């Protein structure tokens, strides 16, 4: 046995045999008070223990079941419960406030990127036309380790059609939409499927309403962005778009769709 362990054993034995015999008797665990209620509060108030003691018991209660409705408060007041005690009961039953927003790495709060029905438009004949939004269904094909991930959108073709091969799109955002809003090209599936698919890069195992959706490979279209007015960004593809189905995809997989004829 190592010297350090041997010394610890001797000290432990000395402490054990130096304790009074009464300490060897088992100690009953403290009885928990489940469902601490208005009746319990009134009972303590009737004992005239003082507000501080009653409030202490309220804060200590692991499971409070207070009736703080209007009728419940009336009954408490009629039973002689003070306003301080009632306030403690209300505080006990109020859920904690939501934590403050986490600071963004670039300073300030997380950038706000909007995803409402009016946020993405396309310029046609010098007019801004709102693009309809579609939410995609996540699907996968292939077998591990070669698995492809897609977002499938209803309908074979977008309802908004243009002939301009290099259109201008308008996005409302507090920050440059690059790396949050992506321009993608979709494949038209079989008529029986009645949908279009956008192949995406899924670098994480999870997918939620805030997941950034990045088109993969040839499905990704690079664009230039410029802020024409505060919070209004104009984006233009860096190359002509061949005829097909396109859209601006935002976090969560919502697609603002259009087609080039």
List pLDDT tens digits, range 20-48.
433 444 444 444 455 788 999 999 999 99
- The DSSP symbol for 15 reads H
Confidence of residue 205 (pLDDT cuts 50, 70, 90): low
Q: Where are the domains of the chain?
A: 33-95, 120-260
Cα(179)–Cα(200) distance, rounded to whole angstroms? Answer: 14
Smallest CA-to-CA distance from 149 within 221, 206, 66 is with: 206
What does pTM read for this prediction?
0.54
Compute φ and ψ for 69, nearest 5 degrees: -70, 175
Nearest CA among 253, 226, 244, 212 for reference residue 168: 226
DSSP state of 96: P
Please give the residue that has the higher pLDDT: either 7 or 77: 77
CB 53 within 8 A of CB 22: no
> Is a pLDDT exceeding 50 seen at residue 116?
no
Please classify residue 173 by burial: count the beta carbons closer than 10 Å to its beta carbon, then call 0-12 exposed, 13-18 middle and 19+ buried.
buried
Contacts of 51 (CB under 8 A, 6+ apart): 82, 84, 85
What pLDDT sits at residue 165?
A: 93
The share of the chain scoring above pLDDT 90, in percent, equals 30
Average pLDDT of the residues in 176-180: 84
> What is the mean pLDDT of the segment spanning 231-251?
92
CB 242 within 8 A of CB 185: no
CB 111 within 8 A of CB 174: yes
Distance, CA of 172 to chain centre: 22
d(CA 247, CA 258): 6
Kindly indicate the confidence band of residue 202, based on its pLDDT and cuts at 50, 70 and 90: low
Q: What is the rounded distance in angstroms from the CA atom of residue 180 to the CA atom of residue 112?
A: 10
Q: Is the pLDDT of residue 71 over 80?
A: yes
Q: 148-163 pLDDT, tens per residue? A: 888 899 999 998 999 9
What's the DSSP call for residue 216?
-
What DSSP state is assigned to residue 143? E
């Amino acid at each position: 046995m190592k010297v350090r362990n041997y010394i610890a054993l001797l000290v432990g034995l000395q402490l054990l045999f130096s304790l009074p015999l009464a300490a060897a008797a088992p100690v009953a665990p403290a009885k928990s008070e489940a469902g601490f209620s208005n009746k319990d509060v009134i009972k303590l108030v009737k004992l005239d223990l003082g507000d501080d003691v009653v409030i202490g018991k309220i804060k200590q209660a692991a499971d409070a079941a207070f009736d703080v409705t209007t009728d419940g408060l009336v009954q408490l007041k009629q039973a002689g419960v003070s306003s301080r005690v009632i306030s403690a009961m209300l505080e006990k039953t109020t859920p904690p406030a939501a934590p403050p927003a986490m600071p963004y790495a670039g300073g300030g709060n997380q950038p706000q990127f909007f995803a409402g029905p009016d946020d993405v438009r396309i310029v046609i004949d010098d007019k801004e036309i709102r693009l309809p939004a579609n939410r995609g269904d996540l699907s996968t094909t292939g077998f591990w380790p070669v698995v492809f991930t897609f977002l499938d959108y209803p309908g074979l073709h977008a309802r908004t059609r243009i002939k301009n091969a290099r259109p201008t799109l308008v996005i409302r955002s507090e920050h440059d939409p690059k790396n949050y809003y992506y321009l993608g090209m979709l494949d038209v599936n079989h008529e029986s499927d009645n949908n279009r698919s956008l192949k995406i890069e899924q670098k994480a195992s999870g997918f939620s309403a805030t997941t950034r959706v990045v088109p993969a490979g040839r499905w990704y279209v690079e664009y230039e962005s410029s802020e024409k007015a505060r919070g209004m960004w104009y984006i233009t593809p860096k190359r002509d778009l061949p005829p097909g189905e396109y859209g601006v995809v935002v976090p969560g997989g919502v697609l603002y769709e259009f087609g080039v004829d």
